[in-house]
Structure 1
């Protein structure tokens, strides 16, 4: 029997204290028609909202590579730009409780950033890594259980224990270098998530091998966007847009009742896109080797590491977009399917087609779109449909 990878969340996590009746101080962003911010390196994030917004109004980012458009705002709206989790984010809500919802969304982002950061010594995850284990909070219990489920369902492709290899390449610090084969071989035994010993009754973990470390970075932003969507719904927000460094999640429809139009960015240029997806109440998350990389000796090395080799994945795909109601799942699978390559990714989708859809781009620029979203995706690129019956 097939095991579902999208279950009801592993536990109920209480929303921001006070539900939607509290307020807190607001630092609402100015509602100019064009706001833009730039992150050092290759990452950019911009927000463009216009009165009577056309389909060209977009949120775009080279990290996550997505854009979304909105029509006229409802009577009340709030939008805020936030820097957290090493990226620029924008949260936007429409409706009578929009400002309160955005206040609480910012609080939730900052709380989860402080909890999950591997670079902040006082964070829960950093403390667990430093001590070889520890007690888990409700959020990290949920993230661990989801991560271990994904590890099993992807046959080890999604692996939160990959941190020592990522560190050796310098992707955790920015001190990039190509590690020796000997270094990689010595670290690979530390990257098996089966060696994470999870005591569910006591909500704690320990590592079977000294030197193991974990990182929830592969699903943290997707999890966070899902939490914000929950907050929006608790506040009665029926139209909202969440862009966490390019990880886009839309809540409900646009304010006029039509679907959001989310543009999947081209890996070739930040101002170009592969196509446009019409959707509602979905996360749309893209991963690719173009997001974060360095060059050494004339060779480009990207940050999506294949756990089976310890080297950047090289299976013929340029980018992978996941569309799902579950932001955590979409985040985890966007890198997992990239590592798998086209054929295995298509096979994986066929086994889980009720839980997500995907858009794959290969090295020749051909797009492969699963049939669940084929009618909602438009593109000028050569496009082939991945069908459940095995035909493409």
Structure 2
């Protein structure tokens, strides 16, 4: 939901392979394939400050795609931090007064707060002012002074947010941002809509968050290329069906300071500084996009040991972790589904087991 994501996701669209075909832009138009159950309708559009590509298969694909795009735009109008008419904007400018939310917005806020608690604050939807101080929400990057960061952290803390039913109270000088769960939650709701229309096969690329509905029309798994966090190209191929795939990494958005220090956009809510723990990327595979979105960020913050420990004590997801020294860690549920490719075929590989 932030403007600086645009360039990264425009590139990302060129790196997601499906059925051996690169997802390419349609310039906002519709493309159609063969008729019947395998009929494909695809559209690229811009929403939530990112590029999205929806590929739907089936006789009702065209009308379903229109409803799916409308759903995304409705959620965007409710969750944007910059749209003065959005619910989140109203919350952030409420001066501590209660704000009544719509059902969708209340649910996504509740989930963000629950995951913040579940991850011990590694995910915190109130970190937005700190992100802004570093310039990751404005595109004007800078290194804030330590005193500035300490002051901003006084107004960060998910536990200070009060959500009673659909009534949200945010203390003064705090700001809420759903960027860490919003796209995943939107993916879940859109996937539900697609299924309600009777479609059994669809691929929703929501700015790099992949939501797979069912399997490919031929019954085989979708084949997704995982982008290399070390440079151009992809590091391997992942086979999945009916799930969400979400990746986080500081290679996505970063800046280099005058002293040569590189700062990534994923901030540790406890320190207010960009994460620097040796991880290059974390990919989460799970049934729910909202969980994938939340955990890809939170486990990146936790680091390798923290991510491994979290997975070993929680069910409902699998993960792929890559370190800056080019080591690969894959949970056992994905060991046979993820294959390294090209120059990465000899990458040191470790399987994480319970």
Common fold: TM-score over 0.5? yes
Structure 1 Cα separation of the partners of residues 179 and 15 of structure 2: 27
Aligned counterparts, 1:251-290, within 5 A: 251-270=213-232, 272-290=233-251
Q: Please state if 1:56 is matched with 2:23.
A: no
How far has the Cα of 1:172 moved from its partner?
Answer: 1.7
Q: Does 1:158 align with 2:123?
A: yes
Distance across 1 between alignment mates of 2:234 and 2:196: 33
- TM-score (norm. length: structure 1): 0.81
SS in 1 for 2:251: coil
Q: Separation in 2 of the partners of 1:87 and 1:54?
A: 20
2:163 & 2:352 partners in 1: Cα distance? 37
Q: Is the 8 A contact 1:42 1:292 kept in 2?
A: no
**2:85 paired residue number:** 122
Cα deviation 1:339-370 (Å, max 9, x = unaligned): 10000100000111x21000000111111000
Is the 1:45–1:60 Cα contact (8 Å) retained in structure 2? no
- Kept in 1: contact 2:243–2:286 (CA 8 A): yes
The equivalent residue for 2:169 is 206
Are 2:223 and 2:240, in contact at CA under 8 Å, matched by a contact in 1? yes
1:357 is aligned to 2:318: yes
| 3-state SS, counterpart of residue 247 of structure 2 | strand
Counterpart-to-counterpart distance in 1, 2:86 and 2:18: 42
For 2:58 and 2:226, the matched residues in 1 are separated by: 27
Deviation of 1:42 (Å): 7.6
Return the offset for 1:41.
6.4
Q: Secondary structure in 1 aligned to 2:85?
A: coil
Matched, 1:378 2:339: yes
User: 2:160 pairs with 175, 195, 204, which one?
Assistant: 195
1:129-154 deviation line (CA, Å, top 9, x unaligned): 01134111111111111111111110
Q: TM-score when scaled to structure 2?
A: 0.89
Cα 1:182/1:54, change in 2 over 3 Å: closer
Partner of 2:280: 318
Correspondent of 2:107 among 116, 120, 142: 142
Structure-2 change in CA distance of 1:151 and 1:304 (3 Å): same
Q: Deviations along 1:29-87, whole A, 9 cap, x unmatched?
A: xxxxxxxxx944684243699xxx984313499xxxxxxxxx98844221111101111
Question: What value does the CA root-mean-square deviation take over the aligned residues?
Answer: 2.2
Q: Which runs of 4+ in 1 moved over 6 A?
A: none
> 2: CA distance between counterparts of 1:368 and 1:171?
29
Measure the CA separation in 1 of the matches of 2:249 and 2:42: 28
Tell me the equivalent position of 1:246: 208
Where 2:154 maps in the other structure, the secondary structure is: helix
> Which residue number in structure 2 is paired with residue 16 of structure 1?
none
- Given the alignment, which residue of 11, 15, 34 partners 1:44? 11
CA contact 2:299–2:307 (8 Å) conserved in 1: yes
Contact 1:88 1:245 in 2 (8 A): yes
Q: 2:257 aligns with which of 265, 271, 296?
A: 296
Instruction: For 2:41 and 2:9, locate their aligned partners in 1 and report how far apart those are by CA, in whole Å.
Output: 28
- 1:382 Cα shift? 2.1
- Residue 168 in structure 1 maps to residue 133 in structure 2: yes
Q: 1:41 to 1:48 in 2, by over 3 A?
A: closer
Distance (whole Å) between structure 2 residues aligned to residue 88 and residue 207 of structure 1: 30
Q: Cα offset for 1:187?
A: 0.8
